Structures are given as C-alpha cells and as structure tokens.
Amino acid sequence: MKYARLFIGMLAALSLPAMAQVQDTRQYLQRMDSNGDGRVSPDEYLQWMLYAFDRMDRNGNGVLEPDEQPGGRGKPITRDEQRQVILARFARQDADADGYLSARELMAPPR
C-alpha cells in the first residue's frame, strides 16, 4: 500500500502541467469527462490516469522498472497492477457510491 501511495503521487506530479492550465473544478471535470455527461466514469478516470504510466514506461514493455520511476528506484509495477491501484482510488473518491465521480468528488482530497 505504501508503494501505491507513492506511485499515485508520481502520477499526480506528471499531471501537474495539464492541471495547471485548468482554471476551476468544472474545467478539470470537462477534461476527464470524454463523453460530456457531466461526470467521470471509471473508464474515463483510468484513461486519464494511465496516460502518466504510459509516458513513464519509456521502453513500452508495460512495466515501470525502477529506472523509469522518479528517483530511479522502486518496485517494478505492471500496467495492470497500476490499473487496480487507480480503480481502488476511484472507489474511495466516489463518496456517494454511484459509480461516477462528480466535480466535487473529483476535487476532494484523497480519502
């Protein structure tokens, strides 16, 4: 679990340039909400968050090796393992358990 928290932090750091251009919660939601229904589904959340994994996976083998991670160390993690970490985070953020993230849930501090 400690490793999962570290990796989520790395993903957030990689997303900062894109987030810096967002002026408010509604704009952030719109970037993630690819179908425009006003909420973020698990698939939309995965797509947004796995983008950072794919950028870090320089050799394209589906595994983040220690040298591909910030600091050049850490336990290797597969794309599927990271997918599970992201889905668990989504479930924790989904405060009303409706299967979607609202703007409020999306911007709330991690639970």
**Confidence class for position 76, pLDDT limits 50, 70, 90:** very high
Cβ–Cβ under 8 Å, residues 94 and 105: yes
Q: Measured between alpha carbons, how far is 33 from 50 in angstroms, rounded to an integer?
A: 15
Question: Does pTM surpass 0.95?
Answer: no
The CA-based angle 53-57-69, given to 5 degrees, is 80
What digits encode the pLDDT tens for the residues 23-69? 666 777 888 999 999 999 999 999 998 998 999 999 999 999 999 99
Please give the average per-residue pLDDT across 7-25, as a whole number: 52
User: Does residue 1 carry a pLDDT above 60?
Assistant: no
In this structure, what token pair is assigned to residue 69?
């991670």
Q: Measured between alpha carbons, how far is 87 from 70 in angstroms, rounded to an integer?
A: 22
